């Protein structure tokens, strides 16, 4: 069968949000070609192995497996990251955090120490490393498997020498030979923030790692814990950027003020107009 025929036959079989796009990406993956090439060569016939790869991918999609895990990679901030079922799939809303971080770091050349808490695929850490070449980044995760994916991505984009990967719960305990006397100018995190009951009703439940999604009863368990320990880690006049669940803005602000009474705190909205990013800018008295 040729590409054109597949592009007509696959979408009706897919119960996904964007079946036409998913079909294009599956065929491009099987043929190891860019999606634009697929669209420009509808007459090209697939080999038997290529067709088998497409059929396998379609079957997995139909069974509910997320497309990025089938492809083994996904784009974030213009970079093609390796992803596996051990990590959360990078999402466009997290790019807001990265944009704010890059802008702040570029405006403050003396600020170059960063902690990426709960790094997952390493999307935040390696993107900051690529855009701020003089930065030092500590990337942590409780999942060893996730850290292996993050390390792979850091090596893929040649920034591994400027990122230390540490397996721990949020941040390593003081004192630590790696981090003794170290304070961070910027602490950023995309921690699990979906309330447990809400998560269990979502299509992603059971398809992406619950470890990276489940924020406990109120969705704020990990954010609450991080904000409690953040004061001992944050440098004077430092910045904290936390991605949050859209309905938790007011609660997150309240938690921020509990830990940082002398701070300027803002909520930023994502492209859909929903609360998405908590910004805490420390003001020294």
Determine the Cα–Cα distance for residues 5 and 160; give it in Å rounded to an integer: 43
Query: How do beta strands 184-189 and 163-167 pair?
Result: unpaired
Q: What is the pLDDT along the chain (285 residues), one digit of tens a residue?
A: 999 999 999 999 998 889 999 999 999 999 999 999 999 999 999 999 999 999 999 999 999 999 999 999 999 999 999 999 999 999 999 999 999 999 999 999 999 999 999 999 999 999 999 999 999 999 999 999 999 999 999 999 999 999 999 999 999 986 554 544 578 999 999 999 999 999 999 999 999 999 999 999 999 999 999 999 999 899 999 999 999 999 999 999 999 999 998 899 999 999 999 999 999 998 766
Tokens encoding 20: 């036409």
Q: Which of 229, 121, 243, 134 is nearest to 183 (CA)?
A: 229
Distances (CA, A) of 266 to 9, 241, 242, 255: 48, 10, 11, 13
Tokens encoding 261: 């009474």
- Walk me through the domains of the chain, giving residue ranges and CATH numbers: 3-64 (1.10.8.10), 86-282 (3.40.50.150)
Q: Would you call the peptide bond into 132 cis, given omega within 30 degrees of 0 as the criterion?
A: no
Tokens encoding 88: 């959360």
């Amino acid at each position: 069968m040729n590409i054109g025929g597949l592009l007509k036959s696959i979408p009706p079989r897919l119960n996904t949000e964007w079946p036409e796009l998913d079909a294009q990406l599956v065929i491009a993956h099987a043929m190891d070609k860019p999606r634009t090439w697929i669209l420009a060569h509808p007459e090209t016939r697939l080999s038997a192995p290529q067709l088998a790869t497409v059929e396998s991918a379609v079957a997995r999609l139909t069974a509910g497996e997320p497309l990025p895990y089938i492809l083994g990679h996904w784009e974030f901030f213009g970079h093609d990251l390796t992803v596996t079922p051990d990590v959360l799939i990078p999402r466009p809303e997290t790019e807001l955090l990265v944009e704010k971080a890059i802008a702040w770091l570029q405006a403050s050349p003396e600020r170059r120490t960063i902690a990426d808490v709960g790094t997952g695929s390493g999307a935040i850490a390696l993107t900051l490393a690529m855009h701020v070449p003089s930065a030092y980044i500590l990337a942590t995760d409780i999942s060893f498997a996730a850290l292996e994916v993050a390390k792979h991505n850091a090596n893929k984009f040649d920034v591994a020498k400027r990122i230390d990967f540490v397996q721990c719960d949020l941040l390593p305990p003081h004192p630590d030979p790696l981090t003794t006397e170290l304070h961070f100018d910027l602490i950023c995190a995309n921690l699990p923030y979906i309330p447990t009951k809400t998560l269990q009703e979502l299509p992603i439940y059971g398809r992406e790692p619950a470890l990276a999604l489940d924020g406990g009863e109120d969705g704020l368990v990990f954010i609450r814990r991080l904000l409690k320990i953040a004061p001992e880690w944050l440098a004077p006049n430092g910045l904290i950027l936390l991605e949050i669940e859209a309905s938790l803005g007011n609660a997150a602000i309240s938690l921020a003020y509990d830990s940082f009474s002398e701070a300027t705190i803002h909520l930023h909205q994502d492209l859909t107009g929903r609360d998405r990013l908590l910004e805490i800018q420390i003001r020294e008295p």
